[in-house]
Amino acid sequence: MSQIMLDAVAARDRSMDGVFYYAVLSTGIYCRPSCPSKRARRENVVFFRAREAAEHAGFRPCKRCKPEAAAAADPNGQLVEKICRHIDAHPGEPVTLEALSRALGMSPFHLQRTFKARTGITPRAYSDSRRLNSLKAGLREGHSVTRSLYDAGYGSSSRLYENASAHLGMTPSRYRKQGAGVTIRYTIAPSPIGQMLLAATERGICAVQFGNSVAALERELRAEYPKAEIARSDRKLTEEVRAMREIMGGNSSRSLPLDIQATAFQRRVWEALQAIPRGATKSYSKIAADIGHPKAARAVARACAINPVAVAIPCHRVVREDGALGGYRWGVDRKKKLLALEAARNDVG
């Protein structure tokens, strides 16, 4: 199931209308992503690239969002749907603007501009996301790495492994085993906003969490990585703890090596967060606009909520449209204090 599609449905993102449709198994109805109907449970939702496919599967068009009428009235949506269908039908082919423009009979400039304006990502990013989702599905179903990578359209194992850690957070073979064999070292140390748990693999930091209970922090880490080998290692993570304290105190803006999983959309959000100057804030809608997805403020909020490395990816710098702090996974009081620490350092500097 595509995370990009789930994010779009959660945000009722009009820019994705025509790109795909979702149907609800319990009602037998299919809708546009922006449909105002009450959201169905995730396990009851299926996705289709075309209206015809949804109807062929026995689903009826929604009477509220009228997907059949909207598709006929939106030529740009039809164009984006056509591009997506072509990419889906040729999973093993390289996605270049020149090749797509030849196949679809339009200029590369118009193709790229229309696709990005409607989806917030490039055709290549869309192809990468679809291929990665196919790979994950194959691995989760227990297929071998070799079969999964070729079924997903990767031309070679070297091409897959070049980018796997950035997308999976681990090698494909370890992902298939749900993290079994991964060694995670962690430490718990005091910080300006309470007890901080910092955990890292050999590739980088994979978790930064805050709380009042050491035992609760440890339980949450083990629940997140149930099959990994987890060991406390205070000495080996001294430098990382020092760096995190400096960042929290506004004394440093350095980037730390991270080992985290993310969808293409989440990566765009997190990169935008890291670009916010310390002590400054932006609204969820402004972040959505910055990444070229102006209707996806709710999806931005969701990406912030699941950020696994607090402060390293500064989701505390995102606020509501009216300037109110809004929520924070580790408590609004901690969010307020982090912003105050950064602002105070800016006043001194």
List Cβ neighbours of 50 (8 Å cut-off, separation of 6 or more): 21, 81, 85
Does 31 participate in catalysis according to the annotation? yes
Q: Residue 338 carries which side chain, given as an amino acid letter?
A: L
d(CA 168, CA 265): 14
Tokens matching residue 106: 């339009």
Closest CA to 126 of 102, 104, 100, 158: 100
List Cβ neighbours of 98 (8 Å cut-off, separation of 6 or more): 108
The CA–CA distances, whole Å, from 68 to 22, 31, 60, 65 equal 13, 9, 10, 9
Q: Give residue for tokens 């990009």.
A: 4
Q: Residue 297 carries which side chain, given as an amino acid letter?
A: A
CB 281 within 8 A of CB 325: no
Residue 317: DSSP 8-state:
G
Q: Where are the beta strands (DSSP E) in 233-305?
A: 282-283
CB 22 within 8 A of CB 48: yes
Does 65 participate in catalysis according to the annotation? no
The CA–CA distances, whole Å, from 64 to 7, 25, 32, 35, 37 equal 20, 17, 10, 7, 7
Catalytic residue among 31, 35, 65, 84: 31
Considering only the C-alpha atoms of the chain, give the largest distance between any 2 of them, rounded to a whole number of Å.
65
Catalytic residue among 35, 62, 304, 315: 315
List active site positions: 31, 315
